[in-house]
Amino acid sequence: MGRRARTEEAKQARRELILEAARDSFFKLGYEATTIERIMEAAGLSTGTFYLYFKSKIEIYKILLDHGIDILEQMLSRAVSHPSASASERILLATDAYLAFYEQHPEYFDIIAVISVRADELRERESSISQTIDEKNLRILKQVGLIIEQGVHSGEFRSLDPWLAATGLWGLMDGLIMLAERNNLRTVGIELKALVKHSLGLTLDGMRTKN
């Protein structure tokens, strides 16, 4: 890449470069402690160039949030699309995918779930992005909801509100991973995977039809 990104591709590549640098820094230092200068130094570019590609610090954060959710959505979609599997199995696949996302993209997970920026700031400016994020979040939840619905239909799960159940399941996953994030698990000597397996097992058990 030359000093100037004349072609559209070169520009895109440069944009990507900045995004990566920003993602790493937001992950390592959090939103407030991340400076534009630091991002651009990591990207091997100058400070001013940042504003050629992004409008503001908060904008790039939102874009990353958006990216993260995109990746998660894709990982989930792929995981869930095993048509042959039972609903329980597909839910396990989905939660596994969530865990995998956390492990493979911890930076994105942090940005999505821990959210170190105050919601206000996130909403204030350029609310269009915020809306997009909300919509994507919803789409993910819907996927899980659909699986549960099918499980109920097929008689695998007892009669329950698929939406409620999906939301609860997702809250559970978020909550557990957050415990891990805050190092609260280490103190107790519990491993995240075991915890998820255990908690999820209980919940799925509760969802299944009793005979």
Q: Contact residues for DNA (CB under 7 A)?
A: 2-6, 10-11, 14, 33-38, 45-53, 56-58
Choose one: 64-72, 89-97, 146-154, 179-187; the region binding a copy of itself (CB under 8 A). Answer: 179-187
* Residue 103 touches a copy of itself, criterion: CB under 8 A: no
Q: Sign (positive/negative) of CA torsion 29, 194, 166, 85?
A: positive
Residue whose CB is less far from DNA, 78 or 118: 118
Q: Does 173 bind a copy of itself (CB under 8 A)?
A: yes
Residue 82 C-beta: closest distance to a copy of itself, Å = 23
Question: Which of 4, 210 has the CB closer to DNA?
Answer: 4
Residues at the site binding a copy of itself, with contacts judged by CB under 8 A: 28-33, 115-121, 134, 137-138, 141, 160-161, 163-165, 167-176, 178-179, 182-185, 187-188, 190, 194-195, 198-199, 201-207, 210
